[in-house]
Amino acid sequence: RSGGGGPSSAARWWRGRELRSVAPPSSPSATLPPQAGGDHTRLNTLTTTPEAWRHVFEVNFFSTIWLAQGLVTELATAHGAIVNVTSIAGSRVHPFAGSAYATSKAALAALTREMAADMGPLGIRVNAIAPGEIDTAILSPGTEKIVESIPMRRLGAPEEVAKAIYYLCTEQSSYVTGAELHINGGQHV
């Protein structure tokens, strides 16, 4: 927790990794940065090691808890917003995302609702976005076959994801909390 107006020690350091991009909130749209997603190697339930499961959950799930705990004072002061990044794989089996990744993202969706309930009384809104197939450098081979089954018949653009995150951080969504916004072109309709 912060005592001198700057970021708390937990906000500056997380398990020995400096969080250079986190600054004290200065406006009501202060946000918690989204979490990274690992290398997306397919990890299944039969052969994945306990160490690999722990690593995926540390990156995709536990880091969110530690960051939120470390920044709660600053977020409450700013009446800020947290936008967690889940995944389309968190709600359905996906051909490229493995078990560890998918279950960590499903857990993050549940955590988003729990955080919304816990932090709402502090004036903090907590939501999530669940991207589907987005045109980035980490697309898996074979994605073009999935695109044929997406109702919008295209990949999403990173800018479309950014606009959704921005919306969830602004006053336009001031009464939205505990929600998971699916950005997938109708892939799961």
Cα–Cα distance for residue pair 188/160, rounded to 1 Å: 18
Domain assignment present for residue 70? The answer is yes
Is residue 6 a part of any domain in this protein? no
d(CA 127, CA 134): 19
**For residues 101 and 56, is the Cβ–Cβ distance under 8 A?**
yes
Nearest CA-CA partner of 42 in 109, 112, 142 = 142
Task: Give the CA count within 13 Å in the CB-facing half-sphere of 163.
Answer: 6
| 82, part of any domain | yes
* Predicted local distance difference test score (pLDDT) of residue 189: 81
3-state secondary structure of 122: helix
Q: Which two tokens stand for residue 168?
A: 């969830």
- Kindly state whether residue 118 falls inside one of the protein's structural domains: yes
The residues that are catalytic are 101
Establish if 133 belongs to a structural domain: yes
pLDDT for the residue 22: 40
Q: CATH no. for residue 164?
A: 3.40.50.720
- Is 168 part of any domain? yes
Low-confidence ranges of the chain (pLDDT < 70): 1-42, 95
Q: Which pLDDT score is estimated for 42?
A: 67
Asked if residue 48 belongs to a domain, the reply is yes
Backbone angles phi, psi at 156, to 5 degrees: -80, 160
Is 2 within a domain? no
Number of folded domains in the chain?
Answer: 1
Give the pTM: 0.77
DSSP one-letter code for 130: E
**Domain span at 131:** 12-19+31-183
Count of all residues that appear for the chain in the document: 189
Query: Do 108 and 81 touch, CB atoms closer than 8 A?
Result: no
